[in-house]
Structure 1
Amino acid sequence: MTGPRRLTGLGARVLTALIVVLCVAVVTAWVVALAVGPAIFEHHMEMVETSHHNPEVIAHAEEAFDAAWKLSLLLALVAALATSIIVTVFLVNRLTRPIRRVRRAVVKITEGDYTARVPESTLGVEFSELMAAFNSMAAELDRTELTRKRLLSDLAHELRTPVATVDGYLEAMQDGVSHADEDTLIMLRGQTERLTRLAEDISLVSAAEERHLDLRYAAVHVGDILAAAVAQVRGRGQDHGVKLGLEADDRTKAVTVTIDGDRIGQVLTNLLDNALHHTEPGDQVTLSAWSSQGSVILAVTDTGHGIEAEHLPHIFERFYRADSARDRNHGGSGIGLALARSIVSAHGGSVWAHSDGPDQGATFTVELPQRPKDSMKVQ
């Protein structure tokens, strides 16, 4: 068996290639001079008009010329070769320096240091774009790592609460302190449903982000989507003492959109539930819709707690909470908005949030194309 092939660096390869090119150029110049120089000299000597042709003088002149041009050409070629090598080494080092920086940064990233960055390059547009793309990738990896850590931490918290509750009641029943009466069974069933809902939501978000979400497109009327969403949360709104309204003219309700009605209904339900979680008795939650240039706009507006500006860019991230304690008390999984964004994105649409600040209410807006692209029908 042969050993592993040793690889030379890019700088060494470029330097070797340039030196070979220079050597070939030197040899070529030398051969051409040897072939052409003497003939040209003899031609000029023959053109010299003189009445006395001394062969010895002519031979001496040819010998002097031959020695002079060979020595001067040799010295010139050696000086040119040495100077070229020095300049080549400088240029190769300048060329490979940013590549070495990228390599060191890549090593840091592979070791888990996602804060590694490379400085901008002045070697041209290509290197500048390479450095910018690398820094953008590193920043995205850094954000992803932070999200992953927060996700694992929040997921552990979400699982800990229902698991601890179930375990506590089971232990109490085993010790004879508690009994499996109807209230206890209802409570245990609620906790298991919470775990099931959390697992399903995480699975849906992951599938949507990986473009593996199974979407079953069908033509539906906007009015049917709105009515179904309001019906889903009307009872919870009444229990919470919040007024639930619907605003859409007849023309908008009659508009037909090609979507997965169940998934978009899930989006609207999540947004309405989110609004109910962040309102107080007497507040208003309104679901509205209108059409615009081949798109349908759906909006959920509430007069509740509002959102601070610093939280708006992160509001659709998984497990992100502007007020962790309040949301956990309401029993939310923390990924309802992330799930809504994933489903809307899978439809080729967009979703965003707006709020004028705390206690100023909030508006969550969904924009969907009336007709999906052909490539989006195959998930």
Structure 2
Amino acid sequence: MTIQFRNETFRNDFTYANSPGNIPRFPFPFPEDVYMYSTNVEPHHATRAGSPFENAFDVDEHYVAEMKDRALVLAEDPGRCQALPHMETAGWDFVELVMVSKARDYPDLFELTIDGDRWHWINKPLQIDDSFIFGDSSTLPCHPMEYIGRQVQGDHAILDQRDGNLWLDAGIITAQADWSLDFDIGMNFFEWHAPVPLAHELGVFQRALKFLLSLPQGQPSRRLNWTLTVNPRLDTSPENYPKWGPDRTTVTPENIGEKVHLRVELQTFWRLPRSNAILFPIRTYLMAMNEVVTQPKWGRRLHRVMRDLRPELVEYKGLSRYHPMLVEWLSQFDDGALTSPGIFPD
């Protein structure tokens, strides 16, 4: 399948949109008419051709635009990419995983030639053609994690495993949903997730940590997470809150379908071979409400999820200002018909 990359922006004039053919492949995150925190982890193996789960690292029509936006964020704030000194080997693990996967899954877009420790990498969409010595960071223009992180959609955290816990010791994070790498770097798993309501009481993170500590190499897993965003803005970091926080005050019944976006994170988990660290990609997908409701099952289900969402989650996800308005708007797309579980439309 040939991918037509879109010329679009995630800031200022917000020209981002999904093409009609891209809408059905959106990872709609609600398998039921109600939502509650859970680990909801499944194996990350290839499923359904054309879906975001078909390949190890999804590449879609937004690839080039997202990489341009990442470059802008890093130019404004280099602190969005950090790695503690002991994480260099994990960075090379990251390079290998992405390059091998992309060259295998998208041979028309990416090429990789390996001759011992001499590697030749071609990224056609970004017009990159580099030769380097694997394991020798001096042969790359920057830290290996940053080098490959500028070429793969989604944020990427790398978690070091020690003392029976996971530690956020490296990451390239430019499209986060209101959390800060600069604040969280060096924290352990529970410290990093401390702000999340209800999940701690339900034991979600205790179970998640136990699962991740035993994650085997070669058997990655995945889960979906979600929130809402006003305007198709990838960078909703605390550092830039003055830029995106006021957007919530601009939502009206007339523009809610255009402005409010369902923001879904496809989170995957990979055990890295040399460092034994865990790579935690967080791939963000955005879809305006007007696009969501083109799939009738999604419109019905989203209305029910929003209508019955617990107040703690409404507050935590920052929806309070426009939540009632959204529920009312979505109600017009809920005809009362029963809906069946499933991520993709019938």
Judge same fold: TM > 0.5, yes or no: no
Structure possessing the higher radius of gyration over alpha carbons: 1
Greater helix share, structure number? 1
Greater strand share, structure number? 2
> If the TM-score is normalised by the length of the shorter chain, which range does it land in?
under 0.3
TM-score by length of 2: 0.22
TM-score by length of 1: 0.20
Bigger relative contact order, structure 1 or 2, given CA contacts below 8 A and separation 6+? 2
